[in-house]
Amino acid sequence: MRFAIPRQDLNREAFASSIPEFNRRSDLMKTDMGYKCRITNVVNLTDQEKLFQLRIVEPQERRIFRFKPGQFIMLELPGYGDVPISISSASSNHEFLELCIRKAGHVTSALFRTDPGMHVAIRGPFGSSFPMDEMAGHHVLLVAGGLGIAPLRAPLFWINEHRDRFRDVHLLYGAKEPSQLLFSYQFDEWQTISHIRLHTIVEHADAEWKGSTGMITELFRDISIDAKNTYAIVCGPPVMFKFVCSYLDRLGIPMNRMFVSLERRMHCGMGKCCRCMVGSTFTCIDGPVFDYWSVMNLKEAI
Amino acid sequence: MKNPVYTFEKLKFASFEFTCCEGCQLQLANREASLDAFFSLLDVRTFREISSEKHDDYDIAFVEGSISRSDEIERLQVIRKQAKILVAFGTCACFGGVNSLKNRFSTEECIAEVYDGQPIETLPIRKISDIVQVDLSIPGCPVAKEEVERIVVSLATGSLVTLPKYPVCVECKEQLNTCMFDLGEICLGSITRAGCNAVCTSGKTPCLGCRGHADDINFPAFMELVKERGLSVSDLQEKLGFYNAFEAYRDDET
Amino acid sequence: MIYKVIAKPEFRKFIDALVRENTSFGPRQVDTAANGNPIYQFMPVSSVEEIEFDYTATASSAKHFFLPFREELSRFSFNDSDFKQHIAYEAEPVVLIGLRACDISALNILDDVLLNGHYPSPYYLAKRKNTFVIGMDHLPLPDCFCKSLAHHTVSTGFNLFCSDIGEKYYLSINSSKAFTYLKEFQTEEPSYEDNCLLTERRKLISRSFQTEVDVTSLPSILDIEFDSPVWEKWGAKCLNCGTCAMVCPSCYCYSVEERFDIDLKGASRNRKLYSCNLVDFAVVAGGHNFRPKNGDRLKYRYYHQHRGFAENANQQICVGCNRCGRACLAGINPKDVINDLRMEKESCMICVSQSPART
């Protein structure tokens, strides 16, 4: 066998037996290997939304997994598929991970049938994050529409934990109906302990609702914004952040101080499959967090 | 611990035939390697082709064939009442199939020609969804067992049941087949739903569209390319009519 | 790089030795088209006799040897409420014979995307490392336009590249493996005449191109022409069949699908090469399609091919082989689409200069 080409077995190389570390991009690693997680708690928020608390099983993997507010993971329910989910817990919480998930497709539907004690896999963290350090020393305006509160929770936790670094913090939160306002059990904590100025609004009030009614932009009438010294994070459906951002733009907040989180259906999370491309930008690598200027420059973003 | 996501109940399954060759049901008994596992997913309540037992407590009914007699309509309606999920199984059930060729003639002509004028009741061919509501369609003449396995697994596990939205060309190119148009033939592959693994074109037979049209096809462009290549439009119409799977497009001359 | 020349009969002996001891693929005629043209594909070969060294171009590219149309990425086995995940990088040594310069350029582009990006793909790497690539130059077909993209020559990405200089092949040896195997055969150092013949050959190839596509500042034109009616015009012809992406040597977009094993004891995650022209490429959870129209999807493919994405440093990934143009039933081809776009751009510039300033 003088001319037989020798086989190079990648399975024997060091990376194939080590834990993938998604934060260290450009290292050869088992990109499709997930960290196994145990579901430790499931909180029913509404009929359509649940909060899943996960714990990475292997201590070594738990140590490696670190994320920044705004990043997402690929959550895999073996057999059913994997879906991109933004991380909803504090980046300082190294023990547990929280994911706020809406029942939207078949993977999330199957996920809704899971109970604590079962296992799922996660890959990541992937993508860009909110520039929390850069925002320090400024007023912060957090605007959430509907499920937009999910990606907003990570920066909110960050602000709560580093409250002294930020000036006034407003959280504007709108939903279709009062019952769809998520995490209402935390409202008191945010307001009383963290001194977040919370303003809620619903489109359709019910009998008990005593707050404001209408679109989220109406909340701007209640607050004064120091445009020169304010950073804004806007999370919600594209129509909503388009309205909110153009309003904030008129107020004079620079476009590169407004951040949004885009949603696309990633298949790989690693800038390969091209399913999440917006124009010629990868939502999974360059996003999901973009400043508004970048979004304006993305073809087909909104 | 019983796992609610990975513990699965067998599907209470029944299979029925109407006007057809029963070839699609025969496919269910094909692919020996996975046959055991396949039937482990099913609690077969009624399936004449493989078992003489007959029970009426099924949840999922596979219905093969098209409808050509009034007693078939009654039988089908009974099945519809019982089944939680009624599956139009095979091209005849989904579109009418080859049987639909009959509809080009009058009933009298058919009886005279086929049955030598004997007193036989026969109606124009109709597909299953013309009579009752269909929950799921699995097209194919015959159905592709691999796809059936995938769909039954999805039904059993409660995961997403899908058919490819793209046309046969994708799978044909995967097989490195030579394009039938390059060989001077009219092939419906570029407008027909994939899922068959391009079995006909791999055998150098042009696609006749037994799986129906893919999602959002560009029929005018297809028509145009047939004309541009100087191929016969009447041949194309013949092919489109073969399985009756392009009803909406057949006489679209645009 | 080491250069040698080898007489053609000796070269055939060398190839035969390789082919007999390795799983090998080379160009073979698979059909004759209705117009009389032979149709070639990279097919399994077991002796040198089966290889058509004088082939024109294969209908499908050699991409699938590195990026299979379907590939299992990982497996799960279930055990009560727990599971185990397994990943293996399957790749056996393969010899690929007869790739054109543009085909090898396409591999270099795939290297950029899949190995030099943020997350290198071990699946691709395993196959790339285990594939012995032998390139061969050729005279361009009338519709080849790789010269417009400077991919008619290639200097990396192969083990061995052979230029036809008449009685002999001029070999560019780019791997120690190739060098070692060739030691067993009679080769010579290139003479002055051989070098001249090589230069002549290259000149001949270079001036034989009949199709030219002006790609200067194309990325910028694409950016400006995002809403051009050109996309609607060509979109109206597009069948959404995905053929262009399947035969393309550099299209790599894919979809990930997960499925249970039929015995429900395990599951697999699979990659399937996809095409941005397919109707559901940009569908998101809830069913919204970000590119519902043919023209949107066609445009997107041209964006990827000719504007490039960040993962490969915004380089064009089209190599100019025109396989997509040849395979397209609707007659959509890069040359006509790009020329159209350019015309549009030029007429637009006139509009801009004549229109009143925006207020």
Does residue C166 sit in the same domain as residue C238?
no
Q: At residue B140, does pLDDT exceed 70? A: yes
- How far away is chain B from the Cα of A179, in angstroms, using its nearest Cα? 28
pLDDT at site B185 = 95
Cβ under 8 Å to C: A residues 3-42: 3-11, 15-16, 22, 25-34, 36
Cβ of residue A39 closer than 8 Å to a chain B Cβ: no
Kindly report the nearest CA distance between residue C33 and chain A, in angstroms: 34
Partners of chain B (3+ Cβ pairs below 8 A): A, C
Give me the percent of chain A exceeding a pLDDT of 90. 55
Residue of B nearest to C69 (CA): B174
Asked if residues A138 and A167 have their Cβ atoms less than 8 Å apart, the reply is yes
CB contact (8 A) between residue A118 and residue B160: no
Give the chain A residue nearest C258 (alpha carbons): A81
Long-range pairs for C283-289: beta carbons < 8 A, 24 or more residues apart: C283/A265, C284/A263, C284/A264, C284/A265, C285/A83, C285/A104, C285/A105, C285/A108, C285/A265, C286/A104, C286/A105
For CATH 2.40.30.10, the residue range(s) in chain A are 10-126
Using a CB–CB cutoff of 8 Å, tell me whether B5 touches chain A: yes
Other CB atoms closer than 10 Å to residue A23's CB: what's the count?
Answer: 15
The whole-number pLDDT of residue C299 equals: 86
The per-residue pLDDT for A223 is: 86
Length of chain A in residues, anyone? 302
| B6 touching A (Cβ < 8 Å) | yes
Residues C8 and C146 reside in one and the same domain: yes
Residue from the list A1, A32, A108 with its beta carbon closest to the beta carbon of C74: A32
The pLDDT of C68-72, averaged and rounded, is: 95
| Residue A129 contacts residue B183 (beta carbons within 8 Å) | no
Q: Backbone dihedral region of A243: left (phi > 0), alpha (psi from -120 to 50 degrees) or beta?
A: alpha
pLDDT(C352) > 60: no
CATH number attached to the domain at B11-157: 3.40.50.700
**A132: Cα within 13 Å, side-chain hemisphere:** 22
For chains A and B, count residue pairs whose Cβ atoms are closer than 8 Å.
Answer: 27
Residue B25 in this model has a pLDDT that exceeds 90: yes
d(CA B136, CA B100): 21
**pLDDT score, position C355:** 42
> Residue C357: what pLDDT?
43
Tally of domains in chain C: 2
Which CATH code is given to the segment(s) A132-297? 3.40.50.80
Instruction: Give the C-alpha separation, A166 to A302, whole Å.
Output: 30
Contact (CB<8Å) B160/A117: no
Per-residue pLDDT tens digits for A78-132: 999 999 999 999 999 999 999 999 998 889 999 999 889 899 999 999 999 999 9
Q: C-alpha dihedral over C105, C107, C111, C114, to 10 degrees?
A: 130
Q: Which contiguous run of DSSP H or E holds residue C99? A: strand C94-99
Nearest-CA distance A181 → chain B (Å): 29
In angstroms, the separation between the Cα of residue C332 and the nearest Cα of chain B is 11
ipTM value of the model? 0.90
- Show which of residues 71-100 on chain A sit within 8 Å of chain B, judged by CB atoms: 77, 79-81
Q: Which residue of C has its CA nearest to B176?
A: C60
Instruction: Tell me the β-bridge partners of B42.
Output: B11
- pLDDT number for residue C313: 62
What's the mean per-residue pLDDT of chain C?
A: 89
Q: pLDDT at position A295, please?
A: 86
Most confident range, picked from B91-95, C291-295, C312-316, C345-349? B91-95
**pLDDT of residue B118 exceeding 80:** yes
The architecture CATH gives domain A10-126 = Beta Barrel (2.40)
Which residue in this structure is represented by tokens 């491309």? A277
Residue pair A241/A235 in contact (Cβ under 8 Å)? The answer is: yes
In whole angstroms, what is the distance from residue B197 CA to residue C172 CA? 40
A57, closest residue in chain C (CA to CA): C82
Rounded Cα distance between A183 and B120, Å, is 70
Tokens of B27: 């496919």
For chain B, domain boundaries: 11-157, 169-242
Find the distance separating the first CA and the last CA of chain B, reported in whole Å. Answer: 62
Query: Mean per-residue pLDDT for C145-164?
Result: 93
Whether B160 contacts chain A with CB within 8 A: yes
Position C338 in a domain: yes
The more confident residue out of C286 and B234 is B234
Element (H, E) at C321: none
Using an 8 Å CB-CB cutoff, list chain A residues near C126.
Answer: 8, 10
Residues C199 and C330 in one domain: no
Residue C212 in any domain: the answer is no
Give yes or no for residue C257 having a pLDDT over 60: yes
| Whether residue B54 has pLDDT greater than 70 | yes
pLDDT digits (tens, 9 = 90+) for A10-54: 999 999 989 999 988 888 999 999 999 999 999 999 989 999 999
Interface test with A, best of B2, B3, B5 (most A CBs within 10 A): B5
**Which residues 88-117 of B have a C-beta within 8 angstroms of C?**
none
Interface-testing mutation among A75, A77, A80, with chain B (most B C-beta atoms within 10 A): A80
Residue C359 domain-assigned (yes or no):
no
Considering the domain architecture, whether residues C224 and C131 belong to the same structural domain is answered as no
Q: Which of A81, A105, A118 sits opposite B5 (nearest CB)?
A: A118
The domain boundary residue, chosen from C177, C207, C237: C207
Confidence of residue C358 (pLDDT cuts 50, 70, 90): very low
Q: Residues C303-340: pLDDT tens digits?
A: 888 877 655 566 788 999 999 999 999 999 999 998 88
pLDDT digits (tens, 9 = 90+) for A209-243: 888 888 888 888 888 888 889 999 999 888 888 88
Name the residue facing A114 among B4, B159, B160 (closest C-beta).
Answer: B4
**Token pair for C112:** 């950029």
What's the rounded Cα separation, in Å, for the pair A55 and A66?
Answer: 13
- The domain of C25 spans 2-207
B157·A79 Cβ contact <8 A: yes
- Domain match, C21 and C124 both: yes
List chain C residues with CB under 8 Å of A36: 83, 85
Tokens of A277: 């491309």
The answer, for A119 touching chain C at a CB cutoff of 8 Å, is: yes
Residue A286, chain C, CB below 8 Å: the answer is yes
Looking at the structure, do residues C223 and C194 belong to the same domain, yes or no?
A: no
CB contact under 8 A, C327 and B166: no
Q: Please, is A193 exposed, middle or buried when counting C-beta atoms within 10 Å of its C-beta (0-12, 13-18, 19+)? A: exposed
pLDDT of residue A300: 65
| pLDDT given for residue A106 in this prediction | 87
State whether A113 and B3 contact (CB < 8 Å): no
Min Cα separation A104/chain C (Å)? 6
| Inter-chain CB pairs, A–C, below 8 Å | 181
Q: How far C201 CA lies from chain A's nearest CA (Å)?
A: 30
